[in-house]
Structure 1
Amino acid sequence: MKYNDYLKTIAPAVLAITLLFSSCTKERNFEPKAPEISGTKGIYVLCEGSWGQNNSAISYYDIATNTVVQDIYSKVNTTKLGETANDLQAYGSKMYCVVSGIKGQSNSFVDIMSIATGKSLKRISFNEASNLDIPRYVTFYQNKAYVSRYDGVISRIDTATMTVDAELQLMNGANKAAILEGIAVANGKLYVTNAVNDYANPNSLKTKVTVVDLATFKKTKDIEVGSNPVRITAAGNGDLYTITWNVWGQTNKPTLVRINSTTDAVVQTEEYDLGAIVIVKDQAWVTKDIYSTPSIRSINLTTGKLGNALITDATTIALPYGITINPFDNSVVATDGTTPGKVYVFGTDGKKKFDFATAGLPQRAVFTYNYK
């Protein structure tokens, strides 16, 4: 057989083999799977501290050693966290701490930290000349963090570059800025509560949840929900749950309001006096009547009604200030706002697994994990 004839004979086979291996290579060129969690390693707890004392802190509890660092932030970063830390949320490998500060004192910022080490990666200042841009809460959507502010602005942070890449000014009648509090995402939209501006002035009463289209980052509408809406969170089915606190001395009652994110219509209102709310998947908990007959109760996400109490043993919490669900095992972290601060962790059976002391006024938790 001549050499040219030989090449003609084997060329199709070589081509087929090359394509086969090329196809296999492409099929194997996939993103590695995220590591599988084997257990909870530790718990960060945001502690608000006393107003005006510049003593906010983040406590850290190591489960294996049963040890607590009362102020892990100061230990790791050799500086104080700041004044009136208000929110702590995890996103990817980072956690975002909203430090509200005090109007006029230029001590408001968002601190972005590594979850693995607690080390601060960047502080984003919210201290313009007006000193009104106090940040309050943070939520996330498609690699962006959204921060609500007291000057009626939503700031959007790129989570990769850790820089503010856009801002949206919201107004609330007569060209007055909205006072923004709770913030949540559902169905490709951002929902933010417009809360009270001046507690001494009933005319300042806000009653709305503002809706923002995240594709365009523009306001689309306001939803009337009742007096002084403050907390809001989204359920897995797309419903939003808003807590209105009213203003003491007014005739309106505190309520729990359910909003359908497809229609943006209020579908249910219940007269409950609630404090905090947390929802993860199909599990939802609220703190109820915290200053009178405190309890932590479930919410039935089908009916919107309150259900059973969380705690099934003899554990009592004098002032249930904050609640967080661990998405790994559905355990619940409940904080006691009395002095000194304390955290209780309950299993899905409602029985206490363990507790530990923290810095003052603990509220939100973020978890670290062990991996297989």
Structure 2
Amino acid sequence: MKVRSLLFSTLCMLAISVTFTSCSDDDDAPWNDEGTKVELPQRRIFILNEGKADNNNAGIAFYAPNRDANDSNNNFIANIYFKQNEKQLGDTGQDILEYEDNIYVIVSGSSLLLKLNAAAVEEARLSFSSSDGQPRYMAAKDGKIYVTLWSGKVARIDSRTMKIEAYVDVNANPEQIVENEGKLYVANSGYGEGTDVSVIDLNTFKKEKDIPVVKNPNRILESNDEVYLLSWGIWTNVLGEGYTFQRIKSDDTVESIAVASAFAEHDDTIFLIYSDWKSDGYEHIFSTYNTKTHKLTEGNFLKNAPQELLSSSIYGFNIDPETGEFYISTSDYVSNGDIYRFKKDGTFAEKFDCGGINPSKMIFLQ
């Protein structure tokens, strides 16, 4: 349960003891919007636009999925970070995470970890040293933020104080990181040559082992108490050599399941996309994987998708955990990207400009 929800529920119980006043559901408790320059609705989506490397043009866009902002101009704000803080986010927005009612952002090229409130107002920042290397991705657990660093380390950071508490060595160029059953799993890309996932015990904060996987592991997630990853391998569509979707079993053996270059998870189903470059654009192959039955089903989970999406470069793939809606972002790497929204059943809903270059990850505040 969210911290704000627990406090809200406690206040509700006190009110009920002396009156007949009732309180709304936990998810309706207000966010901390202290310092905001704009009024935002309860349901919020924040889009991290990476920008172009070395151009200092990363940004965060705000989107109201219900179109219910009191001022309709606030249903979409192209760069809400700049609007709220009157400064640029920095160079290369790499990762974004909502944890305990705060937003955390990694700005890789600027070597920063930012802590924002729920309205994208900055509260604190942490600068990484040159010996740390650039920060890449993060996971959160029990009041700690765990950040992968290109120096071959993972940093443990207190989410409240934003101070680094400890480091643990993994292997070269760690990318995405995920927590599962008291362990951290770290995909070590190794400049494209890495062949393992490191496992860290959260209690001791020491590396336990390395698990061999397909070359160049990058993306990683947890579903149904198991870990799944994407290796980008070499430039081929051969399973086990190129873009490969894998399952790390409970005995740490690894199963190669399908060819895929992007994935997202919802309700124990992993949705997979493989983007294959052709001379006239991209060709996308879709499939789904049930993490309870371990069954792969081939076939497009999108309905009536616009034709231009089916031949565009897919840059980001996110699913709203509350509604199950799909958000697929595209990029031409030089101008603002587009986001295609689909309903839970795959029906196309809308397309909109994301407000920046290279839209990647999105977070959903309910």
User: TM-score per shorter chain, which class?
Assistant: 0.7 to 0.9
| 1:8 match | none
Distance 1:297 1:360, change over 3 A: farther
Determine if contact 1:285/1:323 at 8 Å carries over to the other structure: no
Distance 1:306 1:363, change over 3 A: farther
| 1:327 match | 321
| 2:268 match | 282
Partners of 1:256 and 1:304 lie apart in 2 by: 13
Partners of 1:158 and 1:281 lie apart in 2 by: 30
Distance 1:271 1:353, change over 3 A: closer
| 2:215 match | 227
Q: Paired residue for 1:354, among 337, 347, 350?
A: 350
Give the C-alpha shift of residue 303 in structure 1. Answer: 1.9
| 2:60 match | 58
Partners of 1:263 and 1:33 lie apart in 2 by: 44
Partners of 1:160 and 1:281 lie apart in 2 by: 30
Partners of 2:302 and 2:136 lie apart in 1 by: 30
**Superposed CA offset, 1:324-365 (max 9, x none):** 221111112211123431112211111122332121111111
The one-letter code sitting in structure 1 at the alignment partner of 2:107 is: V
| 1:6 match | none
| 2:137 match | 137
Give the C-alpha shift of residue 290 in structure 1. Answer: 5.2
| 1:13 match | none
Determine if contact 2:81/2:88 at 8 Å carries over to the other structure: yes
The one-letter code sitting in structure 1 at the alignment partner of 2:340 is: Y
Distance 1:195 1:33, change over 3 A: farther
The one-letter code sitting in structure 2 at the alignment partner of 1:362 is: P
SS at match of 2:362: strand
2:224 corresponds to 1:240:
no
Matches within 5 A, 1:122-271: 122-128=124-130, 130=131, 133-170=133-170, 172=171, 178-197=172-191, 205-235=193-223, 237-248=224-235, 252-260=241-249, 262-266=250-254, 268-271=255-258
Q: Paired residue for 1:97, among 93, 101, 105?
A: 105
Determine if contact 2:235/2:242 at 8 Å carries over to the other structure: no
Q: Paired residue for 2:363, among 363, 366, 371?
A: 366
Distance 1:321 1:78, change over 3 A: same
Partners of 1:246 and 1:314 lie apart in 2 by: 29
**Superposed CA offset, 1:124-152 (max 9, x none):** 11123x4x511111111222111111101
Distance 1:222 1:289, change over 3 A: same
Give the C-alpha shift of residue 269 in structure 1. Answer: 0.6
| 1:46 match | 48
The one-letter code sitting in structure 1 at the alignment partner of 2:274 is: K
Distance 1:59 1:112, change over 3 A: same
Larger relative contact order (Cα-Cα within 8 Å, sequence gap ≥ 6) = 1
| 2:36 match | none
Partners of 1:305 and 1:189 lie apart in 2 by: 26
Give the C-alpha shift of residue 211 in structure 1. Answer: 0.4
SS at match of 2:84: helix
Partners of 1:333 and 1:357 lie apart in 2 by: 12
Distance 1:335 1:140, change over 3 A: same
| 1:309 match | 300
| 1:7 match | none
| 2:331 match | 337
Give the C-alpha shift of residue 295 in structure 1. Answer: 4.6
Aligned length: 317
Distance 1:250 1:363, change over 3 A: closer
Partners of 2:276 and 2:159 lie apart in 1 by: 35
Distance 1:337 1:304, change over 3 A: farther
Give the C-alpha shift of residue 206 in structure 1. Answer: 1.2
Distance 1:265 1:195, change over 3 A: same
2:292 corresponds to 1:298:
no
Partners of 1:33 and 1:228 lie apart in 2 by: 47
Give the C-alpha shift of residue 296 in structure 1. Answer: 4.8
Give the C-alpha shift of residue 249 in structure 1. Answer: 8.0
Determine if contact 1:313/1:352 at 8 Å carries over to the other structure: yes
SS at match of 1:279: strand
| 2:90 match | 82
Give the C-alpha shift of residue 79 in structure 1. Answer: 0.8
Give the C-alpha shift of residue 99 in structure 1. Answer: 1.0
Partners of 1:114 and 1:304 lie apart in 2 by: 40
2:74 corresponds to 1:73:
no
Moved more, 74-83 or 350-359: 350-359
Where does the alignment leave 5 or more consecutive residues of structure 1 unmatched?
1-24, 102-106, 173-177, 200-204
Where does the alignment leave 5 or more consecutive residues of structure 2 unmatched?
1-13, 18-22, 30-40
Please say which structure displays the higher CA radius of gyration.
1
Distance 1:188 1:34, change over 3 A: farther
SS at match of 1:294: strand
Partners of 2:92 and 2:289 lie apart in 1 by: 29
